[in-house]
Structure 1
Amino acid sequence: MDIAAIPWAELAPFILIGLFAQTIDSALGLGFGVLSNSLLVLFGTPPIAASSATRTAESFTSGAAGMAHILQRNVDWPLFARLAVPGVIGGVAGIWVLYFLKSDILRPVLLVYLIAVGAYLLWRAPRRPFAFRRIRLVAPLGFLGGFLDSSGGGGWGPLVTGNLLAQGMTPRIAVGTANAAEFFVTVTVLTAFVGIHGLQFTNAATGILIGGLVAAPFGAWLTRRMPPKLLLQLVGVLLVATSIWSLASLMFERLPVFPRI
């Protein structure tokens, strides 16, 4: 590869987007899809191209983020297995629904639910001590997260991370485990889409990928060292903000076309 021939000037804005979005996603367990898609659209990228670039890059950056959280010891392995396997099954089911059925009616209901979860996390953060708890209903949560991620273009992070935190799991373990399990769901979804549409690396996808790979270890490092109450509050703020934007984009056509979830 001729490094000098790489169009760094063209890639620079997309690298910055990848750096920002993946740092937030690795540190808080959600946000890569909505942040990178939104910034790409604001930079003038067509929504379809923005979605494609984000999905392509996320398939690789999620693996880097998962490995970084493993190295930082942010992953609970029994919980990981209980999330990843149903998540992959849900991802396959979501792809089938995407091509044969309509699932748009689920989106506004999910967004309202995520706003409520985010608000609860903001309320809960200063009021309760943080201690590891055995989380219930993990398999259904993983299945629904994978289903929404493949059929709706995103949703694993907000749904899975938000619910784990709402159930009382230690924040850094919830974020790290959800990030590690997400890699297998994302790869499953990408494999299906590659088989249908092929894989294309545009400048946007390449730039986001480079930035995301650089940022993933830093985000995992932040997760381990951030105070639990602060981490929980930041997740709550991001969950409420991104869900409100996504819900608004469904209600008002004149608003910028922000990605859903």
Structure 2
Amino acid sequence: MELVYVLSGLAVGFIVGMTGVGGGSLMTPILLFFGVSPTTAVGTDLLYAAITKAGGVVVHHKHRNIDWRLTGRLALGSVPAAILTLWVLHHLHTDVQAMNVLIKRTLGFALFVTAIAIIFKQQLLKFAQRHAGDWLQMSDRKLAVLTVLTGVTLGVIVTLTSIGAGALGTVALFMLYPLIPTVRLVGTEIAHAVPLTLVAGLGHAGLGNIDWHLLGNLLCGSLPGIYIGSHLSGGVPDKVLRPALAIMLAIVGAKLVV
């Protein structure tokens, strides 16, 4: 099983390197398929995401692709929301089986939304750009409040399911800031995902939801996988990769919900 986990990390890292999405969306369902409990799968995947995306922050910062003001606004909502969600999970007096069912169904719903966001990403971006004037007429204060509320939503979803920080967060930023270059929004969301997944992951560790040995095996595969995938990015048409990824996520989401 150690080799299987390493290969799983390699495959997911490769896909993330090629498409920029799919880390938590793929890793958590894979861990569930291998019999890992939902709480442990989510907790382990959160720390896995924090470590792997930290390298992306360094690269994006070097190329000036991070808007730290937006990162701060998102974190202002997401980090407290993650802490509050962890507090609720800790004090929620329910049996483990009921908690696992809650996490699996929330995960399934989040996978559905992520799949839709991936499929209609270009249409959503065009819609946001067509209505950029409506957004630009908003005051900076109102835009800041909406950004913080977006962070709150992401904080709850990511803490419960370990997914959404990438695909959902980037689409939300596209809608709020349609005139900012795409690569800068992607870098900003990666920078925001690191503190969010780190806080949520450490919180799950405090709840005993981390398999440290499993985490090490996943990282052994994913780090070289991301490196290889990023260098092969563009080798397979995006119009083929993204729909295939979205269909796979939708199928997994349906199975988890049903």
Give the distance between the partners of 1:139 and 1:23, measured in 2 at CA. 32
Structure-2 residue corresponding to 1:246: 253
Alignment of 1:132-211 (within 5 A): 136=143, 137-167=146-176, 168=178, 169-197=180-208, 200-202=211-213, 204-211=214-221
Do structure 1's residue 65 and structure 2's residue 56 form an aligned pair? yes
Equivalent pair of 1:121/1:165 in contact (CA under 8 Å): no
Amino acid of the residue matched to residue 94 of structure 1? T
Equivalent pair of 1:120/1:166 in contact (CA under 8 Å): no
Deviation, 1:77, is: 2.0
Query: Structure with the greater relative contact order (CA < 8 A, sep ≥ 6): 1 or 2?
Result: 2
Deviation string, structure 1 residues 161-215 (Cα, Å, up to 9, x no partner): 232235535332222211111110111112222223275422x321211233334
Give the distance between the partners of 1:11 and 1:115, measured in 2 at CA. 29
Give the distance between the partners of 1:110 and 1:52, measured in 2 at CA. 16
Per the normalisation by structure 2, the TM-score is: 0.69
* Unpaired stretches in structure 1, ≥5 consecutive residues: 1-9, 252-261
Deviation, 1:87, is: 1.7
More helix by share: 2
Match of 2:36 among 46, 51, 55: 46
TM-aligned CA distance change 1:76 to 1:56, over 3 Å: closer
TM-aligned CA distance change 1:125 to 1:160, over 3 Å: closer
Give the distance between the partners of 1:245 and 1:157, measured in 2 at CA. 18
Do structure 1's residue 83 and structure 2's residue 74 form an aligned pair? yes
Give the distance between the partners of 2:172 and 2:241, measured in 1 at CA. 15
Q: State the secondary structure of the residue aligned to 2:212.
A: coil
Identity %, equivalent residues: 21
Equivalent pair of 1:62/1:186 in contact (CA under 8 Å): no
Equivalent pair of 2:12/2:222 in contact (CA under 8 Å): yes
Per the normalisation by structure 1, the TM-score is: 0.69
Structure-2 residue corresponding to 1:254: none
Give the distance between the partners of 2:257 and 2:209, measured in 1 at CA. 29
Give the distance between the partners of 2:242 and 2:57, measured in 1 at CA. 18
Deviation, 1:160, is: 0.7
Q: State the secondary structure of the residue aligned to 1:33.
A: helix
Structure-1 residue corresponding to 2:96: none
